[in-house]
Amino acid sequence: MARFAVILLVSTMVAQLPAVHPSESDDAKRLVDNAIVAVGGHAKLSGFSKLVWTQTTYVIGDETTYSSKHYFQWPDQFRVEEGSVVEVIKGDKYWVKPAKGGVRERAKEETPWAALRALWICTLMPLAEKEFTFKHIGEKKIGERSAVGVQVLRDGYPTVKLYFDRDNKLLVKSEFRIKETIAPFKEIGVEFYFTDYRVVDGAKFPHKRITKHEGDIWDVVEFSKVKTVRKFDPALFEKPAE
């Protein structure tokens, strides 16, 4: 079962992008820029383009816990190792090596591109690209704290709502809708809650994430051994050996 970004979701959803008033867009962009400064600035944040970490995932419905190692080379190369199970995404290819049996290439609708693109937006790294537009969506309470919302839009990407803590400017929540990676590939709402920020190579990285599907907690993820990487071995993102 696919475990990329700890959500079993897929399908690129092309959003209908509403018009955004220039002043509204500028205000929203300032909120995003402030959030980038809060985590350490563009220069430090760019180091997160190549990351490796270990994560412990508590799946609420199944009452199971598993540990996995993740290699992220944004925007389109990813590897997950969970025991003897290996998953690799490289461009439009998605391979899975199960515990038993040979390597299988997954179909397009089983590849979690929409989820990964939403997660990429949550890193804040790509938001300087001109293809993105922003809309201020007001304030709301996230737990006991006030947060300011920005809607992020880009053609071919899920529409993602980002909520930043009003005081410390850090990302505390995101919302988006995508399709599941398993039949019948229904559309669901996903929420990420980010906490426990710690400094990794000069920038702040959340070490805990709670995922909700349609308002219900799906899993709780704790990150450890997070580090940036100057250069990965290219073989990591090739088809796994049999």
List, in sequence order, every beta strand (DSSP E) within the chain.
9-10, 50-59, 64-73, 77-82, 85-90, 93-97, 104-105, 133-142, 145-153, 160-165, 171-180, 187-200, 203-213, 216-228
- On whether the CB atoms of residues 205 and 222 are closer than 8 A, the answer is no
- For the cut 60, the answer to whether the pLDDT of residue 70 exceeds it is yes
pLDDT bracket for residue 171 (50, 70, 90): very high
pLDDT bracket for residue 26 (50, 70, 90): confident
Structure confidence at residue 115 (pLDDT): 94
d(CA 162, CA 118): 10
In single-letter form, the type of residue at position 16 comes to Q
Q: In this predicted model, what pLDDT tens digit does every residue of 39-69 receive, in sequence order? A: 999 999 999 999 999 999 999 988 999 999 9
Q: Tokens for 177?
A: 């809708």
Q: Tokens for 157?
A: 């990407």
Q: Tokens for 70?
A: 């993740």
d(CA 176, CA 109): 18
- For the cut 50, the answer to whether the pLDDT of residue 208 exceeds it is yes
64 by Cβ neighbours in 10 Å (0-12 / 13-18 / 19+) ranks as exposed
- For the cut 60, the answer to whether the pLDDT of residue 153 exceeds it is yes
Domains and CATH numbers, the chain: 4-227 (2.50.20.10)
In single-letter form, the type of residue at position 54 comes to T
5 by Cβ neighbours in 10 Å (0-12 / 13-18 / 19+) ranks as buried
